[in-house]
Structure 1
Amino acid sequence: MNASDQVIAYAEADFSSGDHSFVERLLELIDHFCSTLPPGSLILDLGCGPGNISERLAACLPLSEVIGIDGASSMISMANQKLFCRRPAITNLNYQLVDLSHYCLDDIQDIKGASVIVSNSFLHHLHAPQTLWASVKQLSAPNALMLHRDLRRPSNELEVDALCDRYVSEAPSVLQRDFRASLKAAFTVDEVSEQLELAGLSQFKVKEIGDRYLEVCGWW
């Protein structure tokens, strides 16, 4: 997502409610499974975009090292501009330009061994969804915590229309267009379960969230 109109629209859009919900869910999982993360734990935000969630993670978990990863140079540039304005309040966050579909992850040692790997609305952007699950396996430390949230594909065009009317009817045209395209490109719970089975990650749980999302979480 390098088009200038897309980058500006996503940077200016208010996703705070969803971002807050995502981070709260991660903190809930951490509290439930391990109560706290050891100092220096590496957290990866895959497909971080302009860094909204990465910033929240860094602020909520200041003893951890957070790295936001995205394959779009314009998104990483925007994220770094925002981070520059937040320093020195946030010092445990960095961004890297990495296209997971093309990089050899064995050559990127500083983003391996993550204790937590997250992504938000990233899976449906991938032409080959196994890219995400293969990356998770390569980048995680033993017993790493995973949380991935994405849109869930509606069953028909009428549902697509209803969701667009409900959530983006007053949004800029580029966001309306992208939301509709993303809904159609997204996966169902059954499809993601099949992806995880193929990747050898069937221990991850997949469930529906609200009227348009699905969630994948578990320990690797």
Structure 2
Amino acid sequence: MERQLEPELMEDPDQVEAYARADFSVPHNDFIERIRSFVGRPDFNGSALDLGCGPGDVTFRFARAFPSCRIDAVDGSRPMIERARASAGGLAQRIRFIHGRLPFVTLPQQNYEIIFSNSLLHHLPDPQILWRSIKTHSRPGTQVAVMDLLRPDSIETARSLVKTYAGEELDILQRDFYHSLLAAFSLEEIKAQLIRADLKLNPEQISDRHVFIKGIL
């Protein structure tokens, strides 16, 4: 099945609110647990970069998992960033939410010890935007963790996944999940992207709809 692009940014207020209120605890907790296992330093007190933070749910979970760290979290959607800032509460002292589109955004520091990203890759018309941004803001020893959707092999499979995992969600979330599945990359495409980017990261299919990509640069 050919990839079908979806809008790069989520800026509709109803869409932003729906995502902020949705329960993504299962995949988001799984992502954070995988990062915790990969990083192997519960006392990590350095700087981390979250690319494509959306309304901040994964950012907040990362901040709680590593209570001594500092995070710069970036998103191209201003409504998403505003929603994340409004939800930060006591974590706001350790998180800087930054509005800007990759690769043009200016960050407060050049490189980071950990770079993570959840569900950004499939939004990008050019996947190299993500991989180049990771290279730009890394240094020797930077740990990278990326999770995203995998494109199913057919429209029928995509519809089945939506019914299985989002059948009880709002219509707007079901619609977006379906379009995101169609916009996602296959595992082989991701492997080719990493070779092109000269990034020695390991992509692994971890469910019927997710890929987890990790490595130390």
TM-score by length of structure 1 reads 0.90
Q: 2-side partners of 1:180 and 1:36: how far apart?
A: 36
Are the aligned partners of 2:145 and 2:213 in contact in 1 as well (CA < 8 Å)? yes
CA shift, 1:170, in A, is 1.4
Q: Aligned pair count?
A: 208
The worse-fitting range, judged by mean Cα deviation, of 55-64 and 119-128 is 55-64
Amino acid at match of 1:99: R
Match of 1:74 in 2: 79
Distance 1:152 1:109, change over 3 A: closer
- 1:124–1:151 Cα contact (<8 Å) kept: yes
Contact preservation (8 Å) 1:130, 1:195: yes
Aligned-pair distance for 1:38? 5.1
Gaps spanning 5+ residues in structure 1: where? none
- If asked which structure has higher relative contact order (CA below 8 Å, sep 6+), I would say 2
Q: For 1:54-92, what per-residue CA distance to the aligned partner results, in whole angstroms no more than 9, with x for missing partners?
A: 111112212211111100000000000001xx22x5521
Asked if the contact 1:58/1:90 (under 8 Å) is kept, the reply is no
The equivalent residue for 1:58 is: 63
* Structure 1 ranges of 4+ moved more than 4 A: none
Q: Which residue among 154, 162, 166 is the counterpart of 1:156? A: 154
Long gaps (5+) in structure 2: 1-9
Question: Residues 207 and 53 (structure 1 numbering): CA distance in 2 closer, same or farther, change over 3 Å?
Answer: same
Pairs within 5 Å for 1:179-194: 179-194=177-192
Once residues 107 and 189 of structure 2 are traced to their aligned partners in structure 1, the CA distance between those partners, rounded to angstroms, is 31
Q: Distance in 2 between matches of 1:121 and 1:113?
A: 21
One-letter code aligned to 2:16: V
| Alpha-carbon distance between aligned partners in 1 of 2:79 and 2:51, rounded to the nearest angstrom | 15
Find the counterpart in structure 1 of residue 201 from structure 2: 204
CA contact (8 A) 1:59 1:90 kept: no
1:8-38 per-residue CA deviation (whole Å, 9 max, x = no partner) reads 100110111211111111010011xxx4565
| TM norm structure 2 | 0.92
Query: How well do the aligned residues superpose, as a CA RMSD in angstroms?
Result: 1.4
Q: For the structure 1 residues 60 and 152, does the alpha-carbon distance in structure 2 shift closer, same or farther, using more than 3 Å as the test?
A: same
Q: Determine what percentage of the aligned residue pairs are the same residue.
A: 35
1:173-197 deviation digits (Å, cap 9, x = unpaired):
1101100000000001100000000
Query: What residue identity is the alignment partner of 1:147?
Result: A
Indicate yes or no: 2:21 matched with 1:12.
yes
